[in-house]
Structure 1
Amino acid sequence: MSQSGLLSTAPGTVAEANAEAFARLDAADPWVVDVRLARDAIPGYTDRLVLTSGAPMPWTSYQGGQREALIGGALFEGLAASREEAIAGFADGSIQIGACHDYGAVGSLAGIYTASMPVFVVENRSHGNVGFCNFYEGKEPRRLNYGCYDEGVHQRLEHVNNVLAPVVGEAIRRQGGVALKPLIARALRMGDEVHSRNAAASVLFNREILPAVLDMVGEGFPGVRDSMLHLAENDYFFLRLSMAAAKATADAMVVPGSTLVSAMAFSCRGFAIKLAGLGDQWFEGPPPIHQGKLFAGHTDDEITWMGGESPITETIGLGGFAQACALSLQDYQGGSPEVMIERNMEMYRITHGENSTYRIPLFGFRGTPTAVDARKVLATGILPVMDVGLAGRDGGQIGAGVIRAPRECFEMAMTAFEQRYGAQ
Structure 2
Amino acid sequence: MTSTHTPADGVVASGVSIFADALDAQAVPVSRVDWRPPMEGTADDLATVATDPLRVDANRRAAEAMMAVQAMIVDVAPASEVLGLEKGQFLHAGPPLAWENASGPMRGALMGAAALEALVDDPEDAEALFASGQSVSLEPCHHRSAVGPMAGVVSPSMWMWVLEDPTDGRRTYCSLNEGLGKVLRYGAYGPEVLERLRWMSDVLGPLLSKAVRGSEPVNATSILGQMLQMGDEAHNRNRAGTLMLMRDLAPAMVNSGADAADIAKVFEFMGGNDHFFLNVAMPACKLALDAARGIEGSTMVVAMARNGTEFGIQTAGTGDEWFTGPAQIADGLYLGGYGPDDANPDIGDSAITETAGIGGFAMATAPAIVRFVGGSVPDALATTRRMREITLAENDRWPIPVLDFMGTPTGIDVTKVCRTGVLPQINTGMAGRVAGTGQVGAGLVTPPAEIFPKALAALAARTRARQS
Q: Name the TM-score, length of structure 2 as normaliser.
A: 0.86
Q: Structure 1, residues 376-404: CA drift from partner, whole Å, max 9, x if none?
A: 00100000001111112232111111111
Secondary structure of the residue aligned to 2:160 is strand
Please give the per-residue CA displacement for 1:289-322, whole angstroms capped at 9, x wherever unaligned.
6311112311111111363110001111110111
| Pairwise CA distance, 1:24 | 0.7
Q: Could you report, residue by residue, the CA deviation over 1:318-377 in whole angstroms, capped at 9, with x for unpaired residues?
A: 101110000011111111000111111110000010002011111111000001000000
TM-score by length of 1: 0.95
Distance of 1:277 and 1:292 partners within structure 2: 34
2:149 matched to which residue of 1?
108
Which of 315, 336, 358 aligns to 1:296? It is 336
Give the SS at the match of 1:32: strand
8 Å Cα contact 1:64-1:306 kept in structure 2? no
Pick the aligned partner of 2:79 from 15, 19, 38. 38
2:454 matched to 1:415?
A: no
Aligned to 1:50: 90
The correspondence of residues 28-177 of structure 1 with structure 2, limited to 5 A, is 28-42=69-83, 44-83=84-123, 85-90=125-130, 91-139=132-180, 141-177=181-217
Per the alignment, do residues 213 and 81 of structure 1 end up closer, same or farther by CA in structure 2, a change over 3 Å counting?
Answer: closer
| SS, match of residue 25 in structure 1 | helix
In structure 1, how many angstroms separate the alpha carbons of the residues matched to 2:240 and 2:173? 22
- The answer (yes or no) to whether the contact 1:28–1:127 under 8 Å persists in 2 is no
Aligned pair in 2 of structure 1 residues 81, 296: CA closer, same or farther (>3 Å)?
A: closer
Give 2:418's aligned amino acid: L
**What is the CA deviation profile of residues 225-269 of structure 1, one whole-angstrom value per residue up to 9, with x for unaligned ones?**
111111111111000000111111111111121110000011122
Q: 298-307 or 355-364, which moves further after superposition?
A: 298-307
Q: Which residue of 1 aligns with 2:266?
A: 227
Aligned partners of 1:61, 1:234: CA distance in 2, in Å? 32
Deviation at 1:85, TM superposition (A): 4.5
Q: Distance in 2 between matches of 1:373 and 1:127?
A: 26
Tell whether the 8 Å contact from 2:233 to 2:362 is kept in structure 1 after alignment.
yes
Residue-by-residue CA offset, 1:91-139 (whole Å, 9 max, x unaligned): 2331111111111111110011110000000112234211100011123
**Whole-Å Cα distance in 2 between the matches of residues 88 and 422 of structure 1?**
47
Aligned to 2:31: none
The answer as to whether partners of 1:289 and 1:406 remain within 8 angstroms in 2 is no
Amino acid corresponding to residue 66 of structure 1 in structure 2: M
Corresponding residue number in structure 2 for 1:396: 438
Task: Give, in angstroms, the shift of residue 5 of structure 1.
Answer: 6.0
Q: Aligned equivalents of 1:309 and 1:95: distance in 2?
A: 22
CA distance in 1, matches of 2:438, 2:370: 21
- In the alignment of these two chains, the number of paired residues is 421
Give 3-state SS (helix, strand or coil) of 2:249's partner: helix
Shift of 1:83: 4.3
Q: 1:321 to 1:359 in 2, by over 3 A?
A: same
Q: Give the residue type in structure 2 aligned to 1:407.
A: A
Aligned position for 1:283: 323
Alignment partners' CA distance in 1, 2:133 and 2:44: 49
Residue matched to 1:239 = 278
1:118 partner letter: W
Tell me the distance in 1 between the aligned counterparts of 2:423 and 2:333. Answer: 20
For residues 119-167 of structure 1, the C-alpha deviation after alignment (integer angstroms, 9 at most, x for no partner) is 000112234211100011123x111111110110011101111111111
Matched with 2:242 is 202
Query: Which letter does structure 1 place at the counterpart of 2:144?
Result: Y
Q: Deviations over 1:27-83 (max 9, x none)?
A: 0110010000001011x4222201111111222211322112111111111122344
Letter in 2 for 1:31: M
- Alignment gaps of 5+ in structure 1: none
SS of equivalent to 1:422:
helix
Distance 2:116 2:192 in 1: 12
Contact 2:329-2:345 at 8 Å conserved across structures: no
Identity of aligned residues (%): 36
Match of 1:272 in 2: 312
Unaligned runs of 5+ in 2: 1-40
Change (3 A) 1:356 1:4: farther
1:147·1:306 contact (CA, 8 Å) conserved in 2?
A: no
Task: Say if 2:329 and 2:343, in contact at 8 Å, map to a contact too.
Answer: no
Q: How does 1:322-333 map to 2 (within 5 A)?
A: 322-333=362-373
Asked if 1:13 corresponds to 2:54, the answer is yes
Q: Distance in 2 between matches of 1:98 and 1:286?
A: 19
CA–CA distance in structure 2, aligned partners of residues 74 and 125 of structure 1: 35
